[in-house]
Amino acid sequence: MMRPIHFVAAAAALFLVPGIAQAQDRAPCGAGMVCASDPETVLHALEKAGLKVTRSADNEGDPMISADGAAYGFDVYFYGCERHKHCDSLRFQIAFRKDGENTVELANKWNVSKRFIQASVPADGRFVVSYDVGTIGGVNQRNFADTVDWWQSMLGELGDFFQEELKLKPKG
């Protein structure tokens, strides 16, 4: 069964983009914009999308937001930060527990046929789905809301995909 690991996924999210220097966004977040450099703007935009959100910090002390979504709860990580501030991008992510069903072939099948969100099976055997958003220059509310909408609707498709591919019994 695909069970998400909520709040526990931070560790793996931090090893990405090795070999590239971290960037920061030092510009002030424009009025009405959503910016990783101003985590409250992200929090409020997620709330506006109807999600129940909790702000915390990941293992490195960078900002992190956990959200309860329609299909699955998910986490939003902040990247490209400098001393936990001036972050330049976001990563929406869910990690599902290690399971024999979490195969590289299953992830590739998703990636070939579905848009926006990416699936992978890191070395620790979890099944991870994610979507990255750059916020340099600011993202306006409508565009950010549409990205959240894409993320949530693709998570809904992910549930169907699991049921179909893994022959799970329908919910409820």
Binding site for other proteins (CB under 8 A): 15-21, 23-24, 30, 33, 79-80, 88-89, 91, 104-105, 107-108, 111-112, 115-116, 118-123, 128, 131-132, 134-143, 145-147, 150
112 vs 164, which CB is nearer to other proteins?
Answer: 112
Phi, psi (deg, nearest 5) at residue 113: -105, -10
Rounded to a whole number of angstroms, the minimum distance from the CB of residue 139 to other proteins is 6
Nearer CB in complex with other proteins: 3/142: 142
CA dist 130 and 118 (Å) reads 5
Are residues 2 and 166 in contact, defined by beta-carbon separation less than 8 angstroms?
A: yes
In this structure, the number of other CB atoms found within 10 A of the CB of residue 4 comes to 22
Specify the residue, 51 or 139, whose C-beta has the smaller distance to other proteins.
139
* Residue with smaller CB distance to other proteins, 22 or 54: 22
CB of 149 to other proteins, least distance (A): 8
Kindly report the backbone phi and psi dihedral angles of residue 13, in degrees, each rounded to the nearest multiple of 5, phi listed first: -70, -15
- Least gap, CB of 69 to other proteins (angstroms): 17
The minimum distance between CB 172 and other proteins, in angstroms, equals 31
**Alpha helix ranges (H) inside the chain:** 10-13, 39-48, 104-113, 141-166
Whole-number Å distance between alpha carbons of 21 and 4: 31
